Amino acid sequence: MASDDHYLAVDIGGTKLAAAIVTGSGQVVRQREVPTPSSEPEHLVTRALTELVADVCATTPPAGIGVASAGPIDTARGTISPVNIPAWREFPVVDAIAEAVGGPPPRLIHDSTAAALGEHWRGAGAGSSALLGIVVSTGIGGGLVLDGRPVSGAAGNAGFIGHITADPVGEHCACGRTGCIETGASGPAMLRWARANGWTGHSTPELAAAAATGDATAVAAFRRGAEFLAGGIITSAILLDLDRVVIAGGVSAAGEVLLGPLRAAVIRDDSADIRELRIVRAELGRHSGLIGAARHAMTP
Amino acid sequence: MASDDHYLAVDIGGTKLAAAIVTGSGQVVRQREVPTPSSEPEHLVTRALTELVADVCATTPPAGIGVASAGPIDTARGTISPVNIPAWREFPVVDAIAEAVGGPPPRLIHDSTAAALGEHWRGAGAGSSALLGIVVSTGIGGGLVLDGRPVSGAAGNAGFIGHITADPVGEHCACGRTGCIETGASGPAMLRWARANGWTGHSTPELAAAAATGDATAVAAFRRGAEFLAGGIITSAILLDLDRVVIAGGVSAAGEVLLGPLRAAVIRDDSADIRELRIVRAELGRHSGLIGAARHAMTP
């Protein structure tokens, strides 16, 4: 692609729908977002999306279109069934966006994979040949970029690290399995554990602030979350010979409160290869998905 | 490539060194192997390899060269340090083979990854878009082929499924970690468990034969191995959105004695996506590594 080409990038989540024009060099030059009307019927959710992309595209016919979406997705069919947008089940998002804006066929990618791809292209994953990006937030998502290419998996849902098992005798998870990483390392899980152990605050940012000032329960909550997350990272590193992990999402704002014990837990593992793994914080913030979607649009 | 092009394929293991000419359509047309002189000093092991490849290449200058090796390997440096060939540590195999036979630069790949790639190209993995190949033998190895491409990882050692954790409070593993899949699902592990529980035979094939005739302890030993293996398959399937698993290696000769309980354990997992995963037996036998190495040589 030429660096002055303009790509349409779309990022579909349960909270917001975002679209932007992204240049061939990764600059976000025009961005719009609207709250996702998650509780509305299908045609209204669809209209919110098509109006958004038409608005962003009005002045610039795109050289390519990349669509990142919350999962599950089906890249072969071009459909999405985001858990938190119940009106859309096997919704043909690729066709809907193609119809709304024309141009080249939209390319669909899981939002966590797009975030990892964005960080690999223009952020904290640059230069990695085997990258796992993890989004630690209300849930835990992940995406993989191996040999410079995003890993899709059979239907597009690879990277689902929040639901591999960390504790076989642990808590029941909303997904139906037991002891998933998400049951210990998500923001709400850390918060729940801290409150059950006497901490009296109400939010993850508060918990991070308390940990930063040395509150023992808050520190322990992040340490426990880090242990869960470390298990998933170690498993992934062994299976995929990773050289870097990029941590993003709201909870990553806690910074060293989370990353410190996370690195310690991974280093403690008796595997020389894993000790060379770098664990770093994401750099692109909320733009990572859009930038990754644009990158996906421009890669053959 | 043209289907009548001829490729040199090399497969380096602790027991044997194999080399072959493989056609562009995957036919093995000329194969030689020698026992690996594993306890000899470096120059004798190296000589065994270079004489072997020169012999196989004598009449046919290859269109490409693919080298599969037991790990650890380092694809960027072109070196190998196979656990069971102590004389070779960071041995520059790519340079040694290039010097011995000339031709295009050899391309290095992990032997488990080569086996998976061979099965994907010409065996039980055909048509898969997200394949895990597992070799169940004295140890347990694995290789990944995603979107049709072999997954290397940072240094070439991706797919190391034998050493992800199945049982956090399990047996100590030779790798230094605890409860690795290999501690329960390898041939020797199943044999050890069966003998500790009163079975009096001496080999894995005997154990498989006993299980096939309904010996309760033998059946239980394979079931236990299947449970360990299922844990790694489930984790990999969640992380990589797999659509197929191909089981190879000596222990896979047990067939349904292993595959039956393996499928049952995976299906029992509460995840709809995993239920669609197909678990099948490898088709290429001992040629899978050579065929995969040749495929690697011909893929840009």
Q: What pLDDT digit, counting tens, does each position of A13-25 carry? A: 999 999 999 999 9
Q: Give the residue-averaged pLDDT of A146-153.
A: 95
Q: Is B236 on the interface with A (CB under 8 A)?
A: yes
Q: Is A150 on the interface with B (CB under 8 A)?
A: no
* Cβ distance of A154 and B238 shorter than 8 Å: no
Q: Give the residue-averaged pLDDT of B241-259.
A: 92
* For residue A102, pLDDT beyond 60: yes
User: Is the backbone of residue B72 left (phi > 0), alpha (psi -120 to 50) or beta?
Assistant: beta
Amino acid at A294: A
Q: Is the peptide bond before A150 cis (omega within 30 degrees of 0)?
A: no
Find the residue in A nearest to B157 (Cα): A241
Q: Is A154 on the interface with B (CB under 8 A)?
A: yes
pLDDT band of B181, cuts 50, 70, 90? very high
In the A/B pair of chains, how many CB contacts fall below 8 A?
123
* For residue A1, pLDDT beyond 60: no
Find the residue in B nearest to A180 (Cα): B235
Q: Is A165 on the interface with B (CB under 8 A)?
A: yes
Q: Give pLDDT, residue B276.
A: 81
Which of A128, A164, A241 is the closest to B158 by Cβ?
A: A241
* For residue A61, pLDDT beyond 90: no
pLDDT band of A26, cuts 50, 70, 90? very high
The domains found in chain B, sorted by start residue, are 6-113+287-298 (3.30.420.40), 126-282 (3.30.420.40)
Which of B158, B163, B242 is the closest to A240 by Cβ?
A: B158
**How far is the C-alpha of B210 from the C-alpha of A10, rounded, in Å?**
58
**Residues in chain A closer than 8 A to B238 (CB atoms):** 160-161, 163-164
Q: Is B77 on the interface with A (CB under 8 A)?
A: no
Rounded to the nearest angstrom, the minimum Cα separation between B5 and chain A is 27
**How far is the C-alpha of A134 from the C-alpha of A153, rounded, in Å?**
17
* For residue B97, pLDDT beyond 70: yes
Beta bridge partners of B8: B21, B65
Q: Give the residue-averaged pLDDT of A110-136.
A: 97
pLDDT band of B270, cuts 50, 70, 90? low
Interface of B with A in 5-64 (CB under 8 A): none
pLDDT band of A223, cuts 50, 70, 90? very high
pLDDT band of A290, cuts 50, 70, 90? very high
Q: Give pLDDT, residue B272.
A: 63
Beta bridge partners of B110: B69
Structural contact between residues B281 and B247, judged by C-beta atoms closer than 8 angstroms: yes
Q: Give the residue-averaged pLDDT of A95-107.
A: 95
Find the residue in A nearest to B235 (Cα): A164
* For residue B3, pLDDT beyond 70: no
**Residues in chain A closer than 8 A to B72 (CB atoms):** 273
Work out the mean pLDDT of chain B and round it to a whole number: 93
Furthest-apart CA atoms within chain B: distance in Å: 56
**How far is the C-alpha of A74 from the C-alpha of A76, rounded, in Å?**
6
Q: Give pLDDT, residue A167.
A: 87
**How far is the C-alpha of B187 from the C-alpha of B110, rounded, in Å?**
21
Q: What does pTM read for this prediction?
A: 0.93
Q: Which of A94-98, A248-252, B46-50 has the lowest mean pLDDT?
A: A248-252
Q: Is the ipTM of this complex over 0.95?
A: no
